[in-house]
Amino acid sequence: MGFAFVGSQYHLEVGDQDFYIDLLFYHLNLRCYVIIDLKISEFRPEFAGKMNIYLSAVDDLLKHAEDGPSIGIMLCKEKNRNIV
């Protein structure tokens, strides 16, 4: 409860590269953006790096001064506890 849907495959341009966030929401009570990244494979460490790019870009491009820091959620098909 308290989520507003912003978009799917939400386009961000960082530098000269294009990135697409799977699902982007805004949480009305927390006053922050929530990024959801969907993966059809098991978790790989490079996924965390990409999420960090998304978080930084959303905070730089979309976040207002009164908003809290963005939250990233990654949903993977499988996980290896040692790697995660």
pLDDT the model gives residue 79: 65
Helix (H) or strand (E) holding 61: helix 45-61
The per-residue pLDDT for range 18-68, each reduced to its tens digit, is 999 999 999 999 999 999 999 988 888 899 999 999 999 999 999 999 999
Residue 84 inside a domain? The answer is: no
How many folded domains does the chain comprise? 1
> Does the residue 50 lie in any domain?
yes
CA distances from 13 to 44, 70, 84 (A): 24, 17, 28
Q: What is the pTM of this model?
A: 0.87
Q: CA of 52: how far to CAs of 28, 66, 84, in Å?
A: 22, 21, 15
pLDDT on residue 59? 96
Which residues lie below 8 Å from residue 60, measured CB to CB, with a gap of 6+? none
Domain that holds residue 21: 3-75
Q: Average pLDDT of 1-15? A: 93
Q: Is residue 80 part of a domain?
A: no
